[in-house]
Structure 1
Amino acid sequence: MTAYDKLMAFERETQALAQVAGRLGWDQETMMPRGAAHQRAEESGAMQSVLHARRTDPRVGEWLEMAAAEPLDQVGQAQLRLIRRSYTRTNKVPGDLASALARLTSRAQGQWAEARSEDDFKAFAPVLDEVLRLKREEGAALAEGGDVYNALLDDYEPGAVAADLDKMFAEMRPGLVALRQTALEQAPVPAITGAFDEQKQMKLARQLAKLFGYDMARGRLDKAVHPFSSGSGDDVRITTRTAADDPFNCIYSTIHETGHACYEQAIDPTYTLTPLGQGVSMGVHESQSRIYENQLGRSKAFCHFLFGQMRDVFGDMGVADETAFYASVNRVHRGYIRTEADEVQYNLHIMLRYDLERSLIAGDLAANDLESAWNDRFRADFGYEVDRASNGCLQDVHWSVGLFGYFPTYSLGNVYAGCLHSALRQALPDLDDRLAQGDLAAATAWLQKAVQVHGGLYEPREVITRACGFEPTAGPLMTYLEEKFRALYPG
C-alpha cells in the first residue's frame, strides 16, 4: 500500500465513526428518551475523544507528507487538501477541550430546549456562558493570534472572513429594508386558513420530498423541534415540524431540508466516507436548501401546482384562487421567527444574529445580557417588541450547540442561490412550464450536475463560479427579490 492508500483507509474509518457520532445527534433530536440527556452527553463526549485522537494521530501527518510526493490525480490532491486542513486545525485544539465541548453542548442542547419551552432565558444563560467560554478558548487556539471569529467561521465556510461579510451585508441591507417598507405599508396579504391535520401534513411533506428528488430508500423524514438534515452517502435523514394552523411551516421546512439532503445523496458515490463525500461548506449547502425552498418552491409556477395539491388534501384554505395562494405563500409580514421569515426579511434576521454572536465571541456582550441586547436590536431592526424568549434569543438551537460562525452562512447560501437561479433559468428556458406541472426533474438534475455531484472536490466559491460562469455576488439575489416582490407589492 502507498502512503496515500494507508491514509485513505484510515480516513474512511474516521469518517464512518463521525457518521455514528452524527447519528447520536439525530437520535437526540428525534427519538431519544428525555431522561437520557446526561448519558448521551457522556456518549457524545466519548465519541469526540476517539475522533479527536484519530484526527490528530501522528501517522496522519506522516502519511500526508509522503503522499504529497506521490503522483495523484485531481481527486487525490483534493482529498489531501481537505485531510491536511482538518489535521492542521484539529491539532490546534487540545483533546480535552474537544471532549469537554462535546459533553457540554450535548447537555446545553437539552437545557436550551427546556428553557425555550418555558420561555426562561435566565435558566439557559449559565450554560450558554460555559459554551461561550470554551468556544472562545477553541477559537483562540485555532486563530493562533489572529481573529478568533474568523477562525470559527472558517469551520463552516472555508476562506470566508468577517470583513467580506460586513461588506456584503452593508450592500444588501438598504435594498431589503426598502422592499420591506414598501410591502408592509400596503394592505396585509391574508394567510391561508382552515383545519390542517398534522398527519396529512406529514403525508404531503413526504410526497413533496420525493418530488424534489429525495431518495427515501436512503433516508427518512421525522419530526423535531428544529428541522435539520443529518448524514451523508446512503444514510441521509431529514426532519420537519408541524403546526395545526400553519401547513406552510411543515411544507417549506421539508422542501428546505430536502435541498440539503439531495445534495448529500447526489455526491459522487466513490467519495463516500472520505472528506470529498460531503457538502463543501455550509454556504454552498444552504444554497441548495434555499433554491429548492424559495426560487423553486415559492415560485409562481410551482405555487400553481402546490395549490391544487393542498386543496385536494385540505379542502378550502380561505383563498379564492392560485393567485391569492401564491401571494399568501410569499406574503411579507411581521414576525419573530427566522425559519418562518419571508424572503425579504430573512437576511435581516441573519444580520442581527451575526452582529450579536461576534460581540459574544469578542467578549463585548455577556451571556446574561444577550436577551436584552437581542430585544433592543430586534426593536431597532424590525420596529416592534419581542413578546417572549422563545420568539427571541431562544428560538434557534445554534448557540446552545456551539455553532458560532454558522449563521452568516445562511445569507451566503441565499447569495449563492441567487447566482445559481440566474444560471438555471438560462439553462432551462421552459423552467416555469415544468414547475407548473410539478416537474422538478430537470431543475434538480441541473443542480446535481453543476453543484452536488462534486462534494468537496472544489473550494466553496469555486463550486459556484464553475456552476454559474461568474464569481458569486449579491447582485443576482437582490435583482430576483426586487422583481418578485415589486410585482407582489407594486406600491
Structure 2
Amino acid sequence: MTAFDDLMAFQRDTQALAEIAGRLGWDQETVMPEGAAPQRAEEMAAIENVLHARRIDPRISEWLEAVEASKLTPADAAQIREIRRAQTRALKVPVDLSMAIARATSAAQRKWADARAKDDFTAFCPVLEEIVALRREEAAALANGGDLYDALLDDYEPGASGQDIQTMFDAMRSRLVKLRDAALGSAHQPEKVIGTYPAKKQMKLSAKLARTFGYDLTHGRIDKAVHPFSSGSGLDVRITTRTSDTDPFNCFYSTIHEVGHACYEQNVDRAYLLTPIGRGASMGVHESQSRIYENQLGRSRAFSAWLFDRMQRRFGHAPASDADAFYGTVNRLEKGYIRTESDEVQYNLHVMLRFDLERRLIAGQLDVADLEEAWNARFVTDFGYEVDRAANGVLQDVHWAVGLFGYFPTYSLGNVYAGCLHEALQHDRPDLDVQLAQGNATYATDWLRDKVQRHGALCAPQAVIEGATGKPVSVEPLLAYLEAKFGEIYRL
C-alpha cells in the first residue's frame, strides 16, 4: 500500500468512530432515558478522547509527507486538503479541553430542555457560562492571536469571517425590514391556519413528503424531537420532526427541511463514503439544500397546490378554503418569536439577532448573565414587540447549549446560496412549476443532486455554489425572489 492508501484507511476508521458519536447524539435526542444523561456525557467525552488522539496521531504527518502530490486525482487532493485542515485544528486544541467541551455540551442538552420547559433562564445560566468559557478557550487556541469568533465560524463555514457575514447582513437588512413592514401592513392578508390535524396522520403525510423529495427510508428514518434535526451520512442518515395538532405546517416543512439535509448526505458519491470529503461542503451549503427544498420548492405555488389536495385526502379538510388561499396561508407572515417557525421574509432577521449576540459573547463584550436582557431588548428593536417568556426568547434554540457558536449565520448563508441555486434551477428547468404541481419534486432534486450534492466536500463552499450556478455568490437572487413572491401574495 502507498502512504496515501494507509492514510485513507486510517481516516475511514476515524470517520466511522465519528459516525458512532453522531448516533449517540441522535439517540440522546430521541429515545434515551432521561436519567441516562450523566452517563451519556461521560460516554461522549470518552469517544471524543479517542477521536482527538486519532486526529493528532503523528503517523498522519508522516503519511502526508510521503504522499506523492503529482499522482493525486482532484478527489485525492481534496481528501489531503481536508485531512491537513482537521489535523491543524486538532493539534491546537488540548485533549483535556476537547473532552471537557464534549462532556459539558452533552450534559447541557437535558438541562437546556428542562430550563426551556420551565421558562427559567436563570437556572440554565451557570451551564451556559461554562460552555461559553470552554468555547472561548478553544477559540483562543485556534485563533492564534486572531479573531475568536472567526476561529469558531471556520468550523462550520471554512473561509468565512464575521466581517463577511456582517457585510452580507448589511446588504439584506433594510430590504427585508421594508418588505416585512409592507406585507404586515397590507390591506390583503392571507387566511390563518384553521382546523385540527391529528399527529399520527401528520407523521404519515410527512413520510410521504420525505419520499416525494427523494429521502431514501431504507437508509434513514423519521422520529420526533423537541428541535428537528438531521444526523448521519452515507448509508445511515436520520431525521426528526415535530407535530402540533393546530399547526401541521410545522411538521410538514420541518420534515421537508431536514430531508434537504438528509438527501445531501445520502447523495454524496459513494466512492467518498467514510472519508473527509464524504459529507457536505459546509453548513452554509447544507442549509442551501434544506432551505431550497423547504421554501423555493415546498412553499411554491405549484407544490402547495399538490399539498392542498393531499391534505384534503388525508384529513378530510385543509387549513384554507381553496388551493390559492392555501398558498397564501403556507407563506403567511405573522408576528412571532420562534426562528424555526418564521416565514421566509423574517427568518434572516432572527438569525441576525443571534449572530450579533453570540459574536459579543465570544468577544467577551456580553456576559451570559446579561444575555436574556440583551436578547429581549434587541428583539423589541428588531421586531417591535416584547418577548413574552424565555422559551420564546433566549431559550428557544438548542445551539448555544451544545456549543455551536458560529453556526447561526450559516442559516442565512444557506438562504443566500439557495437563492442563487434557485435562479439557476429555474433557468435550466423552465417547466419546473409544471412538475411540482404534479408532486414531482425529483425534477428539481435530481438537478441539485447533480450540481451540488454528489460532490460532497470536493470543493470549497462558495466554489460549490459558483460551480453549480456559473455566477458569483450574491444576495440579489434571494432578495429579488422574496420581493416578487411576497409582493404578489400581499398585493403590494
Bin for the TM-score computed over the shorter chain:
over 0.9
- Tell me whether 286-295 or 59-68 shows the greater mean CA deviation: 59-68
Rounded Cα–Cα distance in structure 1 between residues aligned with 2:358 and 2:176: 22
Give the C-alpha shift of residue 184 in structure 1. 0.8
Aligned to 2:366, the other structure's residue is in SS state: coil
Q: Structure 2 CA distance, aligned partners of 1:68 and 1:141?
A: 31
> 1:297 corresponds to which letter in structure 2?
G
SS at match of 1:237: strand
What is the correspondence of 1:474-489 to structure 2 with a 5 Å cutoff? 474-489=475-490
Q: CA deviation at 1:68?
A: 4.7
Higher mean alpha-carbon deviation, 38-47 vs 189-198, is at 189-198
Mapped pair 1:174 → 2:178 = no
Q: TM-score, normalised by structure 2?
A: 0.99
| Number of the residue aligned with 1:54 | 54
Could you tell me how far 1:425 is from its partner in structure 2? 0.3
- Corresponding residue number in structure 2 for 1:13: 13
SS in 2 for 1:386: coil
Paired position in structure 2 for 1:303: 304
Q: Deviations over 1:3-58 (max 9, x none)?
A: 11110000000000000000000000000000000000000000000000000101
Counterpart code for 1:465 = E
Per-residue CA shift, 1:171-220, capped at 9, x if unaligned?
A: 10010000000011124433221120000000000000000000000000
Detail structure 1 runs of 4+ shifted over 3 Å in the superposition. none
3-state SS of 2:71 partner: coil
Which SS does the other structure have where 2:259 is aligned?
helix
State the 1:69 CA deviation.
4.3
Of 346-355 and 59-68, the range deviating more from structure 2: 59-68
d(CA) in 1 for partners of 2:203, 2:234: 24
Q: Aligned partners of 1:234, 1:335: CA distance in 2, in Å?
A: 38
Deviation larger for 19-28 or 315-324: 315-324
DSSP-derived class of the 2:404 partner: coil
Corresponding residue for 1:354?
Answer: 355
Normalising by structure 1, we get a TM-score of 0.99
Aligned runs of 1:201-216 on 2, under 5 Å? 201-216=202-217
Q: Is the 8 A contact 2:153 2:407 kept in 1?
A: yes
* Ranges in structure 2 where 5+ consecutive residues have no aligned partner: none
2:42 match: secondary structure: helix
Matches within 5 A, 1:213-224: 213-224=214-225
Q: Could you tell me how far apart the structure 2 residues matched to 1:210 and 1:142 are?
A: 41
Give distance in 2, aligned partners of 1:168 and 1:50.
39
Counterpart Cα distance in 1 of 2:64 and 2:136: 29
Q: RMSD value over aligned CA atoms?
A: 0.8
Say yes or no: does 1:414 pair with 2:415. yes
CA contact (8 A) 2:197 2:245 kept: yes
Which aligned pairs between 1:420-431 and structure 2 lie closer than 5 A?
420-431=421-432
> Aligned letter for 2:390?
A
What is the DSSP-based 3-state SS (H/G/I as helix, E as strand, rest coil) of the residue aligned with 2:194?
coil
Q: Which residue of 1 aligns with 2:328?
A: 327
Report what 1:458 is aligned to: 459
The answer to whether residue 94 in structure 2 is matched with residue 94 in structure 1 is: yes
Q: Which residue of the partner structure matches residue 435 of structure 1?
A: 436
CA distance in 2, matches of 1:303, 1:316: 15
CA distance in 2, matches of 1:318, 1:199: 17
Letter in 1 for 2:156: Y
AA at the equivalent of 2:169: F
Shift of 1:61: 1.2
- Is this contact kept in 1: 2:311–2:317, CA < 8 A? no
**Equivalences for 1:175-190 in 2 at 5 Å?**
175-187=175-187, 188-190=189-191
Matches within 5 A, 1:53-132: 53-69=53-69, 71-132=71-132
| Aligned equivalent of 1:472 | 473
The alpha-carbon deviation at position 70 of structure 1 amounts to 5.6
AA at the equivalent of 1:20: I
Q: Tell me, which stretches of 5 or more residues in structure 1 are unaligned?
A: none
Residues 310-331 of structure 1: per-residue CA shift (max 9 Å, x gap): 1111122352211110000000
For 1:409, the aligned partner's letter is T
CA distance in 1, matches of 2:438, 2:190: 25
Work out the CA distance in 2 between the residues paired with 1:417 and 1:209.
Answer: 19
Indicate the residue corresponding to 2:445 in structure 1.
444
1:153-187 CA-partner distances (Å, limit 9, x unpaired): 00000000111111110010010000000011124
* Equivalent position of 1:146 in the other structure: 146
In structure 1, what is the Cα distance between the partners aligned to 2:160 and 2:319? 45
For residues 241-390 of structure 1, the aligned pairs below 5 Å read 241-317=242-318, 319-390=320-391
Assess if the C-alpha contact under 8 Å between 2:69 and 2:77 holds in 1.
no
Amino acid at match of 2:480: T
Task: Give the Cα separation in 2 of the matches to 1:447 and 1:320.
Answer: 33
Secondary structure of residue in 1 paired with 2:232 = strand
Return the alpha-carbon distance in structure 2 between the equivalents of residues 397 and 315 of structure 1: 36
Judge conservation of contact 2:308–2:318 (CA < 8 Å) in 1. Answer: no
2:19 and 2:255 mapped to 1: Cα distance? 22
Q: Distance in 1 between matches of 2:24 and 2:347?
A: 30
